[in-house]
Chains A and B, each alone.
Chain A
Amino acid sequence: MGRSATLAGTAAGALAGLVGARVLLGARRRRDAGGPGPGGWQVVTVDRAPGEVLPGGRWPEPLRRLGGAIQVEVWPAPGCRGTELAARLRPGTPLPGLAAHLVGDDPARVVRVALRQAKQLAETGEVLRADRTALDRGPAG
């Protein structure tokens, strides 16, 4: 089975696992206007095969939290560097739940953080956490 066919199969699985979101898999395509700003595409390269980036055909949890508020695209990275994972906010779609309270004046940052976390999960199995300070721990320590 060729690579594109394999990816198409993964795409079908991914689509089946999602509600109100779209995943495109296959050769990298020319994306519409993006770049900096809340609606721009943001991309990370994950050093894993697409099937590991979308385990079970579903978005990784950090992106799933953002639900239908984002669009996601996935394509193989050149030079056997894994998978390019892209996401952007859907114009006019509010972020769900807690994410909506965290965006401040930079909603694109939520997408950026979710992409980084998805990459870390796929590559290392966990999201690296900072040490807690005394303030983080509160009076009970």
Chain B
Amino acid sequence: MRALCWTGTDQVAVRQVPDPELRNGHDAIVRVRQSATCGGDLPLLAGRTPYVSVGDVLGHEFLGEVVEVGPEVRRHRVGDRVVVSATVACGACWHCRAGSPSCCDNGNPAPDVDEEAYGQPVPGGFGRPRAAGGFPGGHAEYVRVPYADVGAFGVPDEVSDDRALFASDAAPAGWLAADLGGVRDGDVVAVWGAGAVGQLTARAARLLGAARVIVVDPNDDRLRMAERHAGAETVDPGRADVPAELRERTGGRGPDVCVEAVGPAWDGGIRSLAERFTGAAERPPAVREAVHACRKGGTVVVLGEFTGHVDAFPLGSVAAKGLSVRGARPHGARYVPMLLERMARDELRTEHLATHRLPLEQGALGYALFRDRRDGCVRTVFSPDPPPAG
């Protein structure tokens, strides 16, 4: 089959790779209809994530049709239209049964790497390096979905492919942020980043009762989208002092909940030569600003995919202001069915996020547009259908 593979630093290309096969009884094979780029792919694309190898298939946000199921699959049949959660979770360990599948103990066939990095094994995911327990990703014609009853979700007839695609990861990530932040009626929520996840965080906060949502991003197109589709107010850090602006807009209190949804793409600019030569850790400017801006006793939620350690974290503010700092990866089984219902009721619209639609063969262009935010790109969505002959 054809798949979009990582071929070197900032390079991807379509390659012929073996068709996936059922490897466990709980597996399903999904024929992909659409897949999306995500900020979490960018450290992989740039070769900044350890263990990424030439030939790894990228893409963790995808939707398609079930074409084969293993003997233990109960909830899906051939022909089902499904959206697949980005994280692989078993549904049977303590974390899964407690409703936190993104902490699953059994979703990673090679957990040593993450266990070394994080202190505990974490689940594998689609489009992640195989050497770190990842599974081939969704930028392909077919994908094997382990634990399909847990990680694949039937799409209601009323929800289009274009909308349901983002129930895979971006919408659950946004909902997760609002949920972890404990957003309540009357809250003021600030969101750093107006990409797909930031916009869907803003929308989730509104649906959960936030009185005001303020989105911070340097990109005008994205800010206009956040205003139009999420009912958010906006702040451009190029034109305003963000902490001062947030203080003013919240009567001096600071936002009740601050969400960092920037990810690694907007990392505060060029690092100094000294930092690069000494291998100093990255700095998380949006997290720092969020911690600084948050009201006393408020909650800061970190969604960004930081690949390692970060430096210059304002730890003193956490204790001095009594903050809660939370982070997680989206809990698919907890959120996706509910989000699909909200999509069916038209409460949650996501189609506008797919600003660019391209065939897999134009994967390099699609990722370049997305990475560089050119041409108003928020997300590139790929179709694996073969290009027309001739």
A123 engages B18 (CB within 8 Å): no
The residues of A that contact B23 with a CB separation of less than 8 Å are: 129-132
- Main SS class of interface, B: loop
Contact with A131, one of B91, B106, B121, B144 (Cβ below 8 angstroms): B144
Cα–Cα distance between A130 and B21 once the two chains are bound (Å): 11
Contact A137 B90, CB 8 Å, known A124-B26, A126-B26, A131-B23? no
Of all chain B residues, the one with the shortest Cβ separation from A45 is B94
The residues of A that contact B135 with a CB separation of less than 8 Å are: 130-131
Within 8 A of A (CB), among B78-114: 90-94, 97, 105-112
Cα–Cα distance between A134 and B3 once the two chains are bound (Å): 13
Contact A128 B97, CB 8 Å, known A137-B18, A141-B18? no
B109 engages A128 (CB within 8 Å): yes
Chain B proximity of A134: nearest CB distance (Å): 5
A123 engages B106 (CB within 8 Å): yes
Q: Mark A99-128, 1 if CB is under 8 A from B, else 0.
A: 000000000010000001001100111111
Chain B proximity of A131: nearest CB distance (Å): 5
The residues of B that contact A81 with a CB separation of less than 8 Å are: 94
Cα–Cα distance between A62 and B133 once the two chains are bound (Å): 20
Cα–Cα distance between A129 and B106 once the two chains are bound (Å): 11
Decide yes or no whether B363 CB sits under 8 A from chain A: no
Number of A-B pairs whose CB atoms are under 8 Å? 68
The residues of B that contact A120 with a CB separation of less than 8 Å are: 90, 106
**Chain A interface, number of residues (Cβ within 8 angstroms):** 22
Cα–Cα distance between A123 and B93 once the two chains are bound (Å): 6
Chain A proximity of B325: nearest CB distance (Å): 25
Chain B proximity of A57: nearest CB distance (Å): 22
Decide yes or no whether B130 CB sits under 8 A from chain A: yes
Decide yes or no whether B358 CB sits under 8 A from chain A: no
The residues of B that contact A128 with a CB separation of less than 8 Å are: 24, 90, 106-109, 146-147
A132 engages B18 (CB within 8 Å): yes
Contact A82 B18, CB 8 Å, known A119-B105, A132-B23? no
Contact A47 B130, CB 8 Å, known A129-B23, A129-B109? no
Cα–Cα distance between A41 and B112 once the two chains are bound (Å): 17
Decide yes or no whether B136 CB sits under 8 A from chain A: yes
Cα–Cα distance between A132 and B24 once the two chains are bound (Å): 12
A116 engages B26 (CB within 8 Å): no
Decide yes or no whether B337 CB sits under 8 A from chain A: no
The residues of A that contact B252 with a CB separation of less than 8 Å are: none
A126 engages B24 (CB within 8 Å): yes
The residues of B that contact A109 with a CB separation of less than 8 Å are: 112
Decide yes or no whether A93 CB sits under 8 A from chain B: no
Cα–Cα distance between A81 and B25 once the two chains are bound (Å): 26
The residues of B that contact A119 with a CB separation of less than 8 Å are: 93, 105-106
Cα–Cα distance between A133 and B3 once the two chains are bound (Å): 13
B93 engages A47 (CB within 8 Å): yes
Chain B proximity of A125: nearest CB distance (Å): 7
The residues of A that contact B121 with a CB separation of less than 8 Å are: 116
Contact with A124, one of B18, B21, B92 (Cβ below 8 angstroms): B92
B24 engages A129 (CB within 8 Å): yes
Decide yes or no whether B264 CB sits under 8 A from chain A: no
Within 8 A of A (CB), among B148-166: none
Chain B proximity of A20: nearest CB distance (Å): 29
Of all chain A residues, the one with the shortest Cβ separation from B105 is A119
Decide yes or no whether B72 CB sits under 8 A from chain A: yes
Cα–Cα distance between A124 and B55 once the two chains are bound (Å): 30
Cα–Cα distance between A47 and B110 once the two chains are bound (Å): 20
Decide yes or no whether B17 CB sits under 8 A from chain A: yes
Cα–Cα distance between A133 and B109 once the two chains are bound (Å): 14
Chain A proximity of B69: nearest CB distance (Å): 15
Cα–Cα distance between A82 and B92 once the two chains are bound (Å): 12
- A–B Cβ pairs within 8 angstroms, 5 of them: A81-B94, A123-B90, A126-B72, A128-B24, A131-B20
Using a CB–CB cutoff of 8 Å, the interface residues on chain A facing chain B are: 45, 47, 81-82, 109, 116, 119-120, 123-134, 137, 141
14 further A-B contacts with Cβ under 8 Å, apart from A127-B24, A130-B133, are A47-B94, A119-B106, A120-B106, A123-B105, A124-B93, A124-B147, A126-B26, A128-B107, A130-B109, A131-B20, A131-B130, A131-B135, A133-B130, A134-B17
